[in-house]
Chain A
């Protein structure tokens, strides 16, 4: 049997377990599944974890294929940084409550996420190719730029400082008050639609990963398609950032894990990445809530797990030659 199909037999029960674990774990230890008040907080949190993990993973998988670069990821490419800057800017402008928070904040984070992606894309393009090295370098530059801007905002912030810091650390704790439940549904719709679109483009993503010229000679409208795919990826990242802040490395690690099981064919890889990403983030969040007396931002956990994995990938790449 195909390995990815076999993996689904394990993943289905595992996902249920993950959700139960996510619902049951809290700062006070496990339990309290029956308490309505606790559930009214944890259920959206687990939902957000599932969505954010799924969105980041599918965005990472799509970016890797579309740029033909296995090190592409929304966080490393500066998309998350750009989106975070947009969200922080919205907070500074007082767009955290009411309609402003529900519409303004995600729009700001989308706009700047896209801007970051566009800058990286145009900086790293050499002729019609996007070499691995230049993509990573441009990502670093754009990230540095937006980090500086975020510092600036932090320095300017008054009472919004707390909110902004939470946002930057990556947190599933639903920090934006009552309208965030509504935002959660918008986020869900965005992630489901964009992932479905990317999945429908599975074969085209395969072709794109061969490089622009072969992809075009195989009949793709390369530029148009790339723009759409980058747009879908950035949309998902912006949706995630506006609700959960910057969560690094999920978009990098998960597609690689999934690829080990399914191979690089995107029609198989994407669904697997989505489910693995959702599981991973909910588990990481459960960990974040329980391992220390105080809650740790989940972004810290994913980065702690992600960095060694990134190093492993780089070392392996060195051997197979970039």
Chain B
């Protein structure tokens, strides 16, 4: 689904990504891990096709087609993105924000049809934010906003989801809910999700594969079992961690 070959990215003299290569099949939940400033968000933005081409080298292919050959409106049908900060200057209602996820399917001046409304409503219910639909977006709390923005990404109904710290601001219940939803989309619809996560334990529990970045390099990729080990994590995070297993799910968990 996504193949990245020898991808580098620099912001001027600062090299944020350095020769990263990997390949991700459809229907998987892939966690992007690494300490602060390790290049997770940059990689996410590169995959989203947002960053200026100037600083980038290497190749990204989506469905074996070169990323650069997609026009923005075509790319919006391939992947939906949830960014780290969501700043709103105007008080759209939550529902209006979610409905914007349907815009890649609409021509200018074409009003949203019944199907678009159905999809938007379902996306909001899935993200547990339908009861907020008439609220002005700026009156919502950080976590509520996050769910609305996620619902917008779901409404885009794309085969790929890029989520930059989607569990930010979310309480435990909604962290679990959102990540379970991502798992469900992978299982039922073959959606490939690339998720930037800070919480290694959520990563261990919800991801099929993990990519561990450090100083712009991909230091390790594999299953949670393979990546979440003290040998791998200690040098990257520069602390000593211990590995235990989740008493119910058996997934690897990291404690400090």
A interface with B by C-beta (< 8 Å): 64-65, 68-70, 128, 132, 200-204, 206-207, 209-211, 213-214, 216-222, 259, 263-265, 267, 320
Contacts and interface: CB of A to CB of B under 8 A. Distances in A.
A259 B138 CA distance: 15
Given A213-B83, A218-B100, A264 B50 contact: no
A134 to B, nearest CB: 14
Contact of A214 (B83, B108, B109, B138): B83
A219 B90 contact: no
B75 to A, nearest CB: 7
Interface in B74-89: 74-77, 79-81, 83, 86-89
B73 interface: yes
Contacts of A214: 81, 83, 86
Contacts of A211: 87
B95 to A, nearest CB: 11
Given A213-B50, A219-B76, A221-B72, A203 B89 contact: no
Interface in B81-126: 81, 83, 86-93, 96, 100-101, 103-104, 106, 108-109
Contact of B101 (A200, A204, A218, A265): A218
B50 A203 contact: no
Contact of A219 (B50, B72, B93): B72
Nearest to B87: A211
A35 B74 CA distance: 61
B48 interface: yes
Given A203-B108, A217-B81, 9 more contacts: A64-B89, A211-B87, A213-B50, A217-B75, A217-B79, A218-B103, A218-B104, A219-B75, A263-B93
Interface of B: 45, 48-50, 71-77, 79-81, 83, 86-93, 96, 100-101, 103-104, 106, 108-109, 138, 156
A217 B101 CA distance: 10
Contacts of A206: 92, 96, 100
Contacts, number: 83
A220 B73 CA distance: 6
A65 B89 CA distance: 9
A211 B137 CA distance: 15
A203 B106 contact: yes
A69 B90 CA distance: 8
Binding site secondary structure of chain B: mixed
A203 B80 CA distance: 18
A217 B149 CA distance: 12
Contacts of B83: 213-214, 217
A217 B89 contact: no
Contacts of B74: 219
Contacts of A217: 48, 50, 75-76, 79-81, 83
Contact of A218 (B71, B90, B156): B156
14 contacts: A64-B89, A202-B109, A204-B103, A206-B96, A209-B89, A210-B88, A213-B45, A213-B83, A217-B81, A219-B74, A219-B75, A219-B76, A219-B104, A265-B92
B238 to A, nearest CB: 29
Given A200-B108, A203-B106, A203-B108, A219 B73 contact: yes
The 9 closest A-B pairs by CB, nearest first: A219-B76, A264-B90, A219-B104, A219-B73, A217-B81, A68-B89, A219-B72, A213-B50, A200-B108
A196 to B, nearest CB: 11
Contacts of A221: 71-73
A221 B48 CA distance: 14
Given A216-B50, A263-B92, A264-B90, A207 B100 contact: yes
A320 B77 contact: no
B89 A219 contact: no
A230 to B, nearest CB: 17
Contact of A207 (B75, B89, B103): B103
Contact of A70 (B50, B86, B90): B90
Nearest to B110: A203
Nearest to B96: A265
Contacts of B91: 263-264
A213 B47 CA distance: 13
Which of A132, A202, A218, A264 has its CB near the most chain B CB atoms (within 10 A)?
Answer: A218
A267 B92 CA distance: 13
A184 B42 CA distance: 51
Which of B45, B48, B50, B106 has its CB near the most chain A CB atoms (within 10 A)?
Answer: B50
A128 B50 CA distance: 10
Contacts of B75: 217, 219
B72 A220 contact: yes
A69 B93 contact: no
A216 B72 CA distance: 6
A219 B86 contact: no
Which of B72, B74, B76 has its CB near the most chain A CB atoms (within 10 A)?
Answer: B72
B84 to A, nearest CB: 10
